Amino acid sequence: MATWLLGYLVILSAYGPILSLARGTPKRAEDVDVLEWVNPLIGSNSGGNVFAGATLPYGMAKAVADVNGENTGGFSTDGSQITGFSALHDSGTGGNPSLGNFPILPQICPGDELDNCNFPIGSRATHYKNDSIVAEPGYFKVALENGIEADMTVSEHAALFRFDFSTEGNGTANGTALSPLIQLDLTDLWASRQNASVSIEAEYGGSSARIKGNGTFLPSFGAGSYVAYFCLDVSGGKVKDSGVWVNNRAGTDPKELYVTRGFNLFYLEAGGFVRFQGPIFGPIYARMGLSFISTDQACQNAEKEISGLEYDFDGLVSKAKDAWRKKLAPISIQSGGVSDDQQVSFWSAVYRTMLSPQDYTGENPHWTSSEPYFDSFYCIWDMWRVQLPFLTIADPGTMSRIARSLLDIYKHRGWLPDCSMSTCKGWTQGGSDADNVLVDAYVKNLTGIDWELAYEAIVNDAENEPLEWSIEGRGGLASWKRLDYIPYLDFDPNGFGTNSRSISRTLEYSYNDYCLSTLAKGLGKETHTKYLSRAGNWQNLYKADQKSLVNGTDTGFTGFFQPKYLNGTWGYQDPIACSPLADFCSLTSNPSETFESSCWEYMFFVPHDVRKVVELLGGTDTFLKRLDYFHTSGLADIGNEPVFLTVYMPHYVGRPGLSAERAHSYIPSRFNSSTNGLPGNDDSGAMASFTLFANIGLFPNPGQNVYFIIPPFFESVSITNALTNKTATIRNLNFDAAYKRIYIQNAKLNGEVYTRNWIGHEFFTMGWTLELTLGETESDWGTREEDLPPSLSTSNSTGSIKLLTYHAG
């Protein structure tokens, strides 16, 4: 068994053969338990915001310690203080921290006096011992500086915490028997509670106590509120007393409490507690059942999933680990001697793609349905580009259930979601990107999805403007249909949203409509030509004479997207605005005409017609020069999703070797196995999937049946398709672990010469074998017109797309 101590792999000899994992020692990844290569602590500080605790694949219960530093995913390896342990979390999100409801904390009250315990969050926060952290799939352990140790595991909707007070002198100090106390706080990570209830059922001398309740909280990036329910059973000794606490005082009477927002919305700190008669020799267990339906359901979830009073903690841990092994099983690699870091980064990324979305089936408070219910789409703007396409490959059964759940949301709410968390509607970031997700599933033949319903849902996005397009659908549709672009400072009395992002929304709506036209065509609908024509609307915001200055000097590149008023007059946004060289632009901070990215970066966001972009920008040479300047000048924001596709754009001008070079320039320098190894918020598993696809050597252009081919970062990668049970293999010949040879010289598909620089999803469903022969310089492989990925405009009427301009060396 391998355990992660702040990033260092340690093999515990007690659990079997000691594996030599010294740097550089050759070993075969396939001979060891794949979970030994998963480090959940990657991205647990410096803004990765990953969830580092115990969970099942897509599990609702996510148990971890919450800290008062970087607490977006609950825990951080930033050396801050632990404020409690809770079991609902989201992974990798930015902005306000999500969930973290009903934290519990073990304490010993000095002098055994209740009022000496530190109940409020500010005074109870305790440092953890840096070297005590153990994070593994399905398991998390940490020791507090006061000597109390906590470890935890989960089932689907419940968590089991184990608190060990034994290093506290086995519950005696100063000659007095000390009584461990478990405190429950009616709060969440960002103190969004509106009101909450708690009640305690405990008998003096009894062997366990039950604390249950509910609370109304706010979603961290969305509208409305949600109610969460819990049912906590605490056991492990004889109950000494129990009751409620408010601010820094506690009492054994009453046994229930209702708390609301008081004067000036004052945030009252309050909750329940139970104490056990000391000294205590064994662990105290806290089993936390959760639900979004009712307290009773929270109790039932816990009783059903973690049964008995003598909990089989280790059994639960191994069940969780088996569930993860099963999810990772379709993938295997032959490392070819690459570093351990690279392999850990890879397997941990696979793991992180299955933390969210979360499977809340059976926990939907809004309607009843026999369809699956997934939540924590946080947000689809982040997930559609690489994470969900990865699930289509590695876990198509679940991806199909996710697509069905999107359609069930459409059926019952009238709109596909764009972002959603804790059962609430989240804020829309740009386009209606569930459209792209569904069409990607369509072109990749996922099964069990009602495509007519999908068509209806996407047409609804394309044609009907909702009153509140900040949470669903699209805004400015009247202008979109009349003018063929989203105007700067649009006049839109039909619906309401943040009236910004006119450029990025125009680009995203164009791609959404392209995806819709693909589905329409596939289903034999005549509307496909109408949407194909709308898919070209992006061209209306291209201002051919726009220049861009950096540090007051003309960059020499001309032609950028610019905002355009209703009357057709151009507005202005500095092309470098919203790039890392300027300010960050989101919905609320510095809202601009481009969302979270600059005109520079959005110039490359035309996934369906890259060839037209190449043509507009003056042909292959200026296009490549611009791409290069973008990636080397600091303008590219590699920590956010819109940049991803730009890495692979050289494929469209017959320079696949440049895409490979660019991928290697970012991995591992910006995506690696350190706790700070992510360049930005993981955004569920988006950063993870960027790493994965590069490592696999096939990068998707989702919504299209296209993967760009570069050499995998391992000698070979095999993935078994769960629907067809066929195994696809992509193998490098002449591979070197130092990555000197990253240029494909020639390729064979199932033994036949293959010259295209891209391939379709059939590769995975049919279980094909692609062999790439590598060399140290670019070759003419994949460079010819007929080798390039499809693009709506393949016309080279201007003659400006000059191919075969590769140079050796």
Ligand X SMILES: *[C@@H]1O[C@H](CO)[C@@H](O)[C@H](O)[C@H]1NC(C)=O
Nearer residue to ligand X within complex by CB, 363 or 408: 363
Answer for which of 272, 757, 761, 783 binds ligand X (CB under 6 A) is 761
> Of all helices (H) and strands (E), which one includes residue 42?
none
Asked if 339 interacts with ligand X (CB under 6 A), we say: no
Asked if 172 interacts with ligand X (CB under 6 A), we say: no
Asked if 227 interacts with ligand X (CB under 6 A), we say: yes
Cα 645 from chain centroid (whole Å): 17
For the segment 71-110, give every residue that binds ligand X (CB under 6 A).
Answer: 78-79, 108, 110
CB of 28 to ligand X, least distance (A): 20
Answer for which of 590, 794, 798, 805 binds ligand X (CB under 6 A) is 794
Asked if 47 interacts with ligand X (CB under 6 A), we say: no
Pick the piece of the chain touching ligand X (CB under 6 A) from 308-316, 368-376, 584-592, 670-678: 670-678
Tell me the residue number closest to ligand X, measured at CB.
Answer: 79
Cβ atoms of 514 and 435 within 8 Å: the answer is: no
CB of 724 to ligand X, least distance (A): 8
For the segment 108-137, give every residue that binds ligand X (CB under 6 A).
Answer: 108, 110-111, 130
Start-to-end Cα distance in the chain: 45
Nearer residue to ligand X within complex by CB, 475 or 677: 677
**Residue 370: other Cβ atoms inside 10 A:** 6
Give which of 253, 379, 442 is closest to 684, Cα–Cα. Answer: 379
Nearer residue to ligand X within complex by CB, 126 or 445: 445
How many alpha carbons fall within 13 Å on the CB side of residue 526? 0
Answer for which of 68, 118, 166, 746 binds ligand X (CB under 6 A) is 166
Asked if 791 interacts with ligand X (CB under 6 A), we say: no
Asked if 565 interacts with ligand X (CB under 6 A), we say: yes
Asked if 214 interacts with ligand X (CB under 6 A), we say: yes
For residue 19, what is the DSSP state?
Answer: P
CB of 349 to ligand X, least distance (A): 13
Asked if 633 interacts with ligand X (CB under 6 A), we say: yes
Which positions ≥6 away from 104 have C-beta within 8 Å? 84, 85, 86, 161, 182, 183, 184, 185, 232, 286, 288
Nearer residue to ligand X within complex by CB, 245 or 442: 442
CB of 762 to ligand X, least distance (A): 5
* Binding pattern for the stretch 468-507 against ligand X, x by CB under 6 A and - elsewhere: ----------------------------------------
Asked if 769 interacts with ligand X (CB under 6 A), we say: no
Asked if 800 interacts with ligand X (CB under 6 A), we say: no
Nearer residue to ligand X within complex by CB, 195 or 718: 195
| Residue 323, both tokens | 């569930």
| Residue 315, both tokens | 């059994």
CA distances from 120 to 187, 213, 337 (A): 11, 19, 52
For the segment 349-368, give every residue that binds ligand X (CB under 6 A).
Answer: none
Nearer residue to ligand X within complex by CB, 701 or 773: 701
Nearer residue to ligand X within complex by CB, 216 or 318: 216
Give which of 132, 154, 145, 116 is closest to 320, Cα–Cα. Answer: 154
Give which of 641, 647, 672 is closest to 46, Cα–Cα. Answer: 672
Handedness of CA 8, 9, 12, 15 (dihedral sign): positive
Answer for which of 670, 733, 737, 746 binds ligand X (CB under 6 A) is 670
Token pair 């915490």 is found at 161
Cα 197 from chain centroid (whole Å): 32
d(CA 372, CA 398): 10
Asked if 796 interacts with ligand X (CB under 6 A), we say: yes
Asked if 594 interacts with ligand X (CB under 6 A), we say: no
Helices (H) then strands (E): counts for the chain:
18, 37
The residue count for the chain:
809
Give which of 142, 107, 109 is closest to 128, Cα–Cα. Answer: 142
Asked if 551 interacts with ligand X (CB under 6 A), we say: yes
Answer for which of 95, 169, 251, 790 binds ligand X (CB under 6 A) is 169
Give which of 285, 245, 246, 290 is closest to 86, Cα–Cα. Answer: 290
Answer for which of 126, 132, 146, 216 binds ligand X (CB under 6 A) is 216
| Residue 574, both tokens | 């500095």
Number of residues that bind ligand X (CB under 6 A): 49
Answer for which of 13, 17, 24, 174 binds ligand X (CB under 6 A) is 174
Give which of 16, 10, 51, 9 is closest to 31, Cα–Cα. Answer: 16
CB of 505 to ligand X, least distance (A): 18
Asked if 659 interacts with ligand X (CB under 6 A), we say: no
Pick the piece of the chain touching ligand X (CB under 6 A) from 82-90, 189-197, 356-364, 506-514: 189-197
Token pair 């095999």 is found at 718
Nearer residue to ligand X within complex by CB, 369 or 633: 633
SS3 475: coil
Asked if 281 interacts with ligand X (CB under 6 A), we say: yes
d(CA 558, CA 546): 5
Pick the piece of the chain touching ligand X (CB under 6 A) from 33-41, 168-176, 319-327, 588-596: 168-176
Nearer residue to ligand X within complex by CB, 19 or 722: 722
Say if residue 338 is exposed, middle or buried (CB neighbours under 10 Å; 0-12, 13-18, 19+): buried
* Strand positions, DSSP E, 37-119: 54-55, 62-67, 81-86, 104-108
In DSSP notation, 197-264 reads EEEEEE-TT-SEEEEEEEEEE--TTBSS-EEEEEEEEEESS-EEEEEEEETTEEESS-SEEEEE--GG
Asked if 447 interacts with ligand X (CB under 6 A), we say: no
Asked if 674 interacts with ligand X (CB under 6 A), we say: yes
| Residue 783, both tokens | 């460079």
CB of 230 to ligand X, least distance (A): 11
Answer for which of 370, 725, 751, 752 binds ligand X (CB under 6 A) is 725
Which residues are at the interface with ligand X (CB under 6 A)? 78-79, 108, 110-111, 130, 166-167, 169-170, 173-174, 178, 194-195, 197, 214, 216, 225, 227, 260, 281, 444-445, 550-551, 565, 567, 569, 633, 668-670, 672, 674, 676-679, 705, 725, 760-762, 765, 785, 794-796
